[in-house]
Structure 1
């Protein structure tokens, strides 16, 4: 009788434990659009919040809000197929990248569910909005690696204390909690199962989710996969240098590249040695760094090159970038700081909650140093990542050992759902070896090697096509050689360095009407004057020689000015289609004529202004002449402001 009672008691406890997570209240509520660009209601887009417990399994009643956006399928198909997208970081916003999915071919027959991982983006609470900004200010200073590391740790610890003061349970922000959020979200949105699409660190979250709730998943896409969390940081340096070596080899094995960028690998290490002794200070926009300056040291340079390997077009400008540092061309390198600012836009409160919860504690710092020491000229790896060991050591100082998570993913081998893995050839953080090893975890997985691409290659034209075919028909074998048709890496050569091209392109692209309105009016005045007075000159309406000369000078200057502006815009558009990042340095040499036009325009403007001053008393319609001269001066002012001149 006692045995029977004991068995009943054990069963009761087991049932309560297993049902504990779902016993907590979970609701989904619709809301106004999270993004201001979506002011008008759209029946094809659902915005809302998933209310979930902050700590799954706890009975404290404390809940948080997960920001969610559902892009309904564009077709009229009645099936309830869906794809949930898990962003990386950890700490990057998924909803901020909703534009990627607006016209994605997968949306035709699938609802696209995009969400912000707990604590990020539009979630409530958001853990930290400005820690990344503080990190950029630290990187901008002219100081040692040790000072950078100390200040970064202090800033992170202040953030941690702020989270504790706000009553946030930092132990509840991890991949397992996110897996529970996803399971609850699927149920709340009334999907029986869905396709899971993870990128970068989101692939690790996706694997934890797939291991915990395998019945939720119809198919799994892992792009730039984290294979083994215990080597994610340990292999950081060797992964980076293996990818960078591919760029060195391309340059060395092509006589044209090698002629323009001789001994690129040697120059790379020379830059590191030079910047260790003589940091390079450049001017930047104060909206990025409050001081208006950014000092590149060796560590900043290494991070800049590492980040360039993420993107194919940036890979193609790496030789230019290295040589700009080598020649200490600060006027163009100031444009690079915006790349740092983009890197640091994610929520670093979440980043450290997750990383210090499950990643860094499972990586051996001595192994990290051992791997980094293999590259002598690198001087100890990349401190931007190495410093995370120090941050997490301080972060976890007062935590119980039980707070550190160790997830067993061995049961993924029993998963029945099909898996597609993407890995980029130049990816410096999750290389192709990761993709192969990740695919080997599953019994029904395919690994796609994305030739010529970097991080997250599934969002390229080829990648989208492969992903679409796989998700729409996961039982059919995908084209494993799809990326063989990708265009070869074409390193950028013959760039005319001009810091103003990027600023002009950005200014015109943003089309701030208040800022550009004077320029638009000036260009209209110049055009109207050309059309009106060219006809009058032909009809000989100006018998006085000084009036005729004045009009001819004004027409000539205005034509050159308008031609210069139009050609500059067309060059920026053409180059941006070819490789947007070239604009950060200038324009290819085939656009050299534009810079010749700049000097011709300025020369004509100076001569016209001088002639006007000397003949002003004898000139008819002086007001019109002056307005045209002023319009040309205004165009020249914009060119000066942008830095074209």
Structure 2
């Protein structure tokens, strides 16, 4: 009798749950391409749409939101219904903007790639906030105390929270549990039996919540830069950062070449913090990035700049150079760094606080954070960029019930039947390799891939993509694959020049309106250089003035063309080696480019002076002037970029 009663209760519960889902009317609607760059995409290759889901799961109040979705169809003729769903991190970063990393991913051959924007982010409706990150950048740009920074950051976040409430948005409904329900509904709407779940950074926590709550949805699980314990995610922030940074300090100590270029790097790092604490450094920046046109680096900005550099292998290689640029207070190269702050703050910070203040910060003890940071006295209290989140979330959670502050149960993961692959980067300052080992150990079939020489999210490197594809498609966990990765090569001997970065970006944009005059000038220089050379060889000029003028222009144009060609070749070569070097200048072995700059300017000056002195005796003055003007135009571009 008891068994029958139990079965009846379970059946009634299932019927109630099913009925509730149906009453909430989850639907998927197709749409036109959501990205303008792919407006002409083939619907058979890329599908676009919105998943309509309740804002509050389990409550039938009729209020729904739209989750933006993109499906990259598999490129092979494989008939199986395989799919990979990608969960972006942040929290608050959009997923669909990462479509470029997936278009040619090897996993797409045999799997549909499902990319979505976590509710409230990116192209979702509603998008919670588009400008809170910009406000934070303006705050960071000011020359003010850390305390004032934190106060203004909290004030901006509270204003955003009130705006959300005024818009009728329930901030309690933007968390990992709700996203897990969205994913379960999306899998059903797209008619997948199960799928391979791929989470990165904070998305690994969402993925674990999803896998815990809906284990039958998961065919395999890939976690890149994984969170192990949400209650230490902030507490251990400082020690994780410094453990990664000390690896750079140790490299410089042990290598004679590095130590000669960057002596006492650790001591220099702490001296920069002390110096910027007393004397902040203000640099001029593009007003499109910071409306005031200036950015003031204080000690906290420096610390977070170095911490963010540890995320990326190529940035890791320029960290000693970056520390010494701050030490020497080199304004021009450091101005190029502000764009990195700008990109860091592009995600939806309203969603960031909805999730962080809901499930992360309330489970982290601020006193333990302070104890952890106190181990590093020269650091002066950890990194304010993260520490301030405690203050923001204290205000954000004021008058909210304790029930809204979730600590999600992950106990079901210990009995997971699906295989799990975990990536962990050697230099990752936020989710270190120890996290990867612990997360892999949480699962019966977990494998940890130690991504030596890389930082955060190493699975999107060429090696990582290959490992992920072999794991998902062929169930081969190549845990030692990164042992073949190129070793870290710290950047040394760079000729500092503020214009290289601007020139590289300008040429790389291929703006026809901007570049057309330059292209026309270079063509004129090339054509007339050969034309004059042929005429000189044929002895077509009767006066010495005409001969000298033509010889001057041939040499000037030749040096100018050699300069421009060498500049392009140097930029391309360095961008393939390490793109971030261009923010500072060019490696020393490209010093000939700057020699050509001086040679070109000297030849141009002599040619122009000689032309003015002999203008009345020179034939075809209009033609010669056009060649001189073309060379002057090249010089103008070099001056505009800042190379001169």
TM over 0.5: yes
| Alignment partners' CA distance in 2, 1:282 and 1:473 | 52
Q: 1:523 to 1:79 in 2, by over 3 A?
A: same
Q: Check if 1:216 corresponds to 2:224.
A: no
Equivalent residue number for residue 24 of structure 2: 24
1:121-166 Cα distance to aligned partner (Å, 9 max, x none): 1111100011111111111111110111011111111111111111
Instruction: Identify if the C-alpha distance between structure 1 residues 444 and 256 changes in structure 2 by more than 3 Å, giving closer, same or farther.
Output: same
User: What displacement does 1:414 show?
Assistant: 0.6
Matched, 1:399 2:406: no
Q: Secondary structure at the match of 1:69?
A: strand
5 Å-filtered alignment, 1:131-280, equals 131-280=132-281
Partners of 1:28 and 1:34 in 2: CA distance? 15
Aligned partners of 2:451 and 2:86: how far apart in 1? 20
User: Which shifted more, 419-428 or 615-624?
Assistant: 615-624
2:39 alignment counterpart:
39
Q: What is the CA distance between 1:515 and its match in structure 2?
A: 1.0
For 2:385 and 2:17, the matched residues in 1 are separated by 41
Equivalent residue for 1:539? Answer: 538
CA distance in 1 between partners of 2:358 and 2:624 (Å): 71
1:90, distance to aligned residue in structure 2 (A): 0.5
Deviation readout 1:353-401 (Å, 9 max, x if unpaired): 1111111111101100110010000000000000001111111102111
User: TM-score scaled by structure 1?
Assistant: 0.98
The 3-state SS of whatever aligns with 1:74 is coil
Contact 2:471 2:478 in 1 (8 A): no
How far is the alpha carbon of 1:17 from its aligned partner? Answer: 4.6
* Aligned ranges 1:82-97 → 2 under 5 Å: 82-97=83-98
Corresponding residue number in structure 2 for 1:644: 643
Q: What are structure 1's unaligned runs of at least 5 residues?
A: none
Of 218-227 and 29-38, the range deviating more from structure 2: 29-38
* Mapped pair 1:307 → 2:308: yes
Q: Aligned equivalents of 1:21 and 1:58: distance in 2? A: 9
TM-score calculated relative to the size of structure 2: 0.98
Cα distance in 2 for residues equivalent to 1:564 and 1:11: 79
How far is the alpha carbon of 1:23 from its aligned partner?
A: 4.0
Which position in structure 2 is the counterpart of 1:585?
584
Distance change in 2, residues 1:351/1:9 (3 Å): same
Matches of 1:60 and 1:382, distance apart in 2: 42
Q: 3-state SS of the aligned residue for 1:471?
A: helix
- Superposed counterparts of 1:542-561, under 5 Å: 542-561=541-560
Match of 1:101 in 2: 102
Cα distance, 1:618 vs structure 2 = 1.1
State the match for 2:503 in structure 1.
Answer: 504
CA contact (8 A) 2:86 2:115 kept: yes
1:602: which partner in 2?
A: 601
- Decide whether the 8 Å contact of 2:463 with 2:481 is kept in 1: yes
- Are residues 355 and 550 of structure 1, via their aligned partners in 2, closer, same or farther at CA, if it must alter by over 3 Å? same
Q: Distance in 2 between matches of 1:258 and 1:523?
A: 44
Rounded to whole Å, the distance in 2 between the matches of 1:519 and 1:171 is 55
SS of the aligned residue for 1:416 comes to coil
Q: Deviations over 1:70-113 (max 9, x none)?
A: 00000011111000000000111110010000000010000000
Q: Deviations over 1:324-378 (max 9, x none)?
A: 0000001111111111111101111111111111111111011001100100000
Q: CA deviation at 1:22?
A: 5.2
- CA drift of 1:24 comes to 1.6
Between the aligned partners of 1:6 and 1:480, the Cα distance in structure 2 is 45
CA distance in 1, matches of 2:8, 2:411: 31
Query: How far apart, CA to CA, are the structure 2 residues paired with 1:204 and 1:267?
Result: 36
Mapping for residues 241-390 of structure 1, pairs under 5 Å: 241-390=242-391
| Contact 2:20-2:60 within 8 A present in 1 as well | no
* 1:20 positional shift: 2.8
Distance 2:209 2:616 in 1: 83
Inter-partner Cα distance in structure 2 for 1:541 and 1:131: 69
Which digits, 9 at most, give the CA deviation of each residue in 1:457-487, with x for residues without a partner? 111111111111100122x4x2221111111
Distance in 1 separating the partners of 2:620 and 2:169: 72
1:419 and 2:448 aligned: no
Q: Give the Cα–Cα distance (whole angstroms) in 2 for the partners of residues 6 and 92 of structure 1.
A: 44
Distance in 2 of aligned mates of 1:298 and 1:326: 12
- How far the C-alpha of 1:41 sits from its partner, in A, is 3.5
- Segments of structure 2 that go 5 or more residues without pairing to the other structure are none
Change (3 A) 1:227 1:9: closer
Which residue in 2 is equivalent to 1:485? 484
Q: 1:570, 1:181 → 2: CA distance?
A: 48
1:81 corresponds in structure 2 to 82
Distance 1:183 1:466, change over 3 A: same
Query: 1:222: how far off?
Result: 0.2
Deviations 1:558-603 (A, max 9, x none): 1101110010000000000000000000000000010011011001
- Partners of 2:584 and 2:615 lie apart in 1 by 42
Q: 1:110 to 1:308 in 2, by over 3 A?
A: same
| In 2, Cα distance between equivalents of 1:147 and 1:433 | 35
- Match of 2:575? 576
The count of residues paired between Structure 1 and Structure 2 equals: 643
* Cα deviations by residue, 1:178-232 (Å, 9 ceiling, x for unpaired): 0000000000100000000000000000000000000000000000001100000
CA contact (8 A) 2:197 2:220 kept: yes
Alpha-carbon contact 2:450-2:479 (below 8 Å) kept = yes
- Runs of 4+ with >4 A deviation: 3-11
Please give the secondary structure, in 2, of the residue aligned with 1:195: strand
